[in-house]
Structure 1
Amino acid sequence: MSTDHGGDDHGHHLPAVEDWPRGFGEASWWPFITALGAGGIYLGAALFIVSGGSESTIDPMLAPLATSASVGAFLFGLYGWIYHAFVTEFWSSGADETSASALRWGMIAFLGSEIATFGGVFTYYFFIRAGTWPPGELPHLTGSLVIINTAILVASSLTLHWAHVAIRNDDRRKFALGLLSTLILGLVFIGGQVYEYYEFIVHTEFTVTSGLFGSAFYGLTGLHGLHVSLGGVLLAIVTIRALAGQYSAERHVSVSTVSMYWHFVDVVWIFLVVILYLGGSVGA
């Protein structure tokens, strides 16, 4: 979306001006780069599974290399997409309630597609859970780590809500403090997930190739971890903008949309704990 803002652009440029060849109209490379990175993550997962076979001719190093490059491309594309689509617009746009409503409904539509994505993987788990249980040896799932991680993620939703209320009341200090707290808690949660993976893989040899439950466990928790990481990027951008004084009681639509997304990943995690961790332990 491009508007003639004259020379008052504060050093920013719109993506249609420089990020796309002339003659292609209002478009940007960033969504394409983001989608390419996301697709590469699936490719890396496929390479990991295929290269794990005893007769595989694929170099095992290809999987982590492809995954790392894809995650980098995904985050880079996401940053450019969000920055040029939202940050540059801030400097010249007013508090347009119509645009704000469109962004909120856009986030709702996106979360609807995310529900369908998680629903597909949950359906796979329900199918294997309905069969003989357990489908092989399972690790101890309901340890203190998952309880602590759950408490951390729930607390991050509370601090984000506190920050959202603060900016509505035009309290910038509490707003910035709430965002920073949420970002730190989110990073700690991701660190906890990485540590849990380390414990399972190294100490119990429970990996994504450990039968049906292994693929379901790492598929669901890995997908959720990717979404939390994405939320962390969004929170970091919002936090940087908050520290720069860009938000006010009248202009905080991106805070609202990021808040919706973060609460969504929080709710999904609660479902994961109940269905995957607690449900997987029942009858094991």
Structure 2
Amino acid sequence: MGVADDTSDDHGGHGGHHLPAVEDWPRGFGEASWWPFITAIGASGFYIGAALYVLGRGDSAIVGPMVGPGAFIASAVLFLGGLYGWLYHAFVVNFWEHGTGEHDDSTLRLAMILFLGTEIATFGAGFVYYFFIRAGTWPPGNLPELFGTLVIVNTLILVVSSFTLHFAHTGLLKNNRKQFLGLLGTTLLLGVVFIGGQVYEYYEFIVHKGLTFQGAVFGSAFFGLTGLHGLHVTLGAILLSIVFIRGLLGQYSAERHTSVSTVSMYWHFVDVVWIFLVVVLYVGAEFGI
């Protein structure tokens, strides 16, 4: 995702460490990594698996009932494998290579901006689906209470995490290591708490309030959008964990912080998306706005 700064020119690594992509592949792209492509194929397989699952239900099923789940599981393995390779190529190798940051910081930040542009398109597709079902009869059945204390607390947690991350980065730019690590660790903790809160919210909706993915058209939109966001928060927490560990190892300074900057961009983006989700999906759905 364009956040791997601080690597040396020795792309073979140290101590026998080996990058997944060290040759010119695909041809003409320079030193390219195939892991983003593998990750993207795995992610697209989720939608294919969901479609096959729908086609495998009912008396007029087109495919077997286990084809969809099988495709989904295979896609998950491919996605996680590609994600591991991607993170390894972008981050883990930097534990073994301690260069002087030869990459152009502006180029890496531009790469993150372009990546976030694709994320906007992904979430946009989900919101288009939601607005499409909103154009019909509303509400589509009995909706449970959506906007309550839990979502308010979760929202505050995520908003506060943006501030802690911002001031952690500010501390790093001032070479205040204690402020940087303390607030970065706080941000990571808040992200984990948010994920736990979303899991608990799912439990409440599914077990106690009867809102399921299959139960109503709103359920598919709700769990699809909030689940997609939860996946992004989880990925953000993984990135923050890597940055935090690298920070503990002293790999960042006021002059060397591109990874911190780009991961911060990603985390702030995830926070903004959540606020939009709350306004549109929680408040808007419950109060008919």
Q: 1:227, 1:45 → 2: CA distance?
A: 19
TM-score, structure 2 normalization: 0.83
Alignment coverage as a number of residue pairs: 280
- Alpha-carbon distance between aligned partners in 1 of 2:91 and 2:11, rounded to the nearest angstrom: 18
State the 4+ residue runs in structure 1 displaced beyond 6 angstroms.
Answer: none
Match among 75, 93, 100 for residue 94 of structure 1: 100
The yes-or-no answer on 1:121 pairing with 2:126 is yes
Hey, what does 2:206 align to over in structure 1?
A: 201
Q: Which runs of 5+ in 1 are unaligned?
A: none
Q: Name the structure 1 match of 2:38.
A: 33
Q: For residues 137-183 of structure 1, what are the alpha-carbon distances to aligned partners after superposition, in whole Å with 9 as ceiling and x for unaligned?
A: 11110111111111111111111112111111111222112221111
Q: 1:40-89: per-residue Cα shift (whole Å, max 9, x none)?
A: 333444455456657767456963x7656644543443232233234536
When residues 252 and 10 of structure 1 are mapped into structure 2, their CA distance, relative to the original with a 3 A threshold, is farther
TM norm structure 1:
0.85
The answer (yes or no) to whether the contact 2:53–2:65 under 8 Å persists in 1 is no
C-alpha distance in 2, partners of 1:154/1:72?
A: 32
The 1:147/1:6 distance shift into structure 2, 3 A limit, reads closer
Aligned residue identity for 1:195: Y
1:211 matched to which residue of 2? 216
Q: 2:192 aligns with which of 173, 176, 187?
A: 187
**CA-atom RMSD in angstroms:** 3.1
In 1, the alpha carbon distance for the partners of 2:108 and 2:50 equals: 32
How far 1:8 moved relative to its partner?
A: 7.6
* Aligned twin of 2:157: 152
Query: Is the CA contact (8 Å cut-off) linking 1:95 and 1:250 kept in structure 2?
Result: no
Tell me the alpha carbon deviations over residues 10-38 of structure 1, each in whole angstroms, 9 at most, x when there is no partner.
654333349x89xx984444224322432
Q: Is the 8 A contact 2:162 2:187 kept in 1?
A: yes
In structure 2, how many angstroms separate the alpha carbons of the residues matched to 1:280 and 1:7? 53
Which one has a larger percent helix, Structure 1 or Structure 2?
1
Distance 1:140 1:245, change over 3 A: same
